[in-house]
Amino acid sequence: MDGRAHSERQHGREVTLSLRSFAMRVVSELRRSVETAQRSFCPDLAGQIVAYARSGDQSRLSAIYSELQRRRVTADEVMDVYLPHAVTVIGHQWHEEEIDILHASMACARMQTVLREIGHAWVSDRSGRQGDGRVLLTLPVGEQHTLGAMLAANQLRRRGVSVKVMLLPEMAELRALIERNRFHAVFISVSNLSSLTPCAAMVRELRMVSGREMPIIIGGGLVSNEIVGNDPCRIAEITGADLVTNDIDQALHSCGIQQISAAAE
């Protein structure tokens, strides 16, 4: 009886993935070239991920992983397409009052945890190669959404870039960090028009401490959303940034940072 009970428990552990084992499998078993991946977006799969974010029920992870395998979705697509889509859907549900702010916050926190676990799994699965770029990724005072910055940090690290994340720093903290460290660029994530003024103040402080040689790049939800006043040229004019874009590769190219694509390893 004890042997059968142990076997049943073992089987249960194999059928129901923990979040950490889910992340490890996504990274180690779903890393394929872009050419062999099925590129079509799957609404059903996206809905399953949203359902997990809403419920936190880890028994859903096994079904999600099986669907990822069946549709040949890559780890990159999970992080760059499906997780951001889930966050967008959750935000829309909150905006339409389908869920309250507490449940929306919990759902986004779960997505951030998934992203963090996949990021850890990605680092563990790397072959040891490192990039030659170092970036500071930060948010200006007044920003409330950190998941976008975490997504950007994840994309940078997968390209071999070392990233220091500093969320909502005081000016004195920011100044001390820049004085003590050498960064090839600063990336600032901005989601709201109201954040442009503190963002401009942050850019001025960075210029004073580091001089003009360190590129400052702005990205985030404000750059991609269809909001009046979010024109990249206008944002650059207001803030004094060197470049406004959500294209990570374009941003890295503009900084002269040599990229290493983890997907190609």
> 219 pLDDT exceeds 80?
yes
How large is the average pLDDT for residues 22-26?
84
SS3 186: strand
Which top CATH class is 134-264?
alpha beta
The residue ranges of every structural domain in the chain are: 12-125, 134-264
pLDDT digits (tens, 9 = 90+) for 68-94: 888 888 888 888 888 888 888 888 888
> 61 pLDDT exceeds 70?
yes
CB contact set of 196 (below 8 Å; sequence gap of 6+): 190, 222, 235, 238, 239
- What predicted TM-score, i.e. pTM, was given to this entire model? 0.68
pLDDT digits (tens, 9 = 90+) for 32-52: 544 444 568 889 999 999 999
Q: What is the pLDDT of residue 244?
A: 93
pLDDT digits (tens, 9 = 90+) for 149-163: 888 888 888 888 888
pLDDT digits (tens, 9 = 90+) for 94-130: 878 899 989 988 998 898 888 888 877 776 555 444 5
Report the C-alpha gap between 23 and 114 in whole angstroms: 7
Partnered with residue 138 across adjacent β-strands are: 166, 188
Q: What is the pLDDT of residue 12?
A: 40
Strand 185-189 vs strand 134-138: parallel, antiparallel, or unpaired? Answer: parallel
Comparing 182 with 7, which gets the higher pLDDT?
182
CB 139 within 8 A of CB 149: yes
Q: What is the pLDDT of residue 105?
A: 87
Q: What percent of the chain has pLDDT over 70?
A: 81
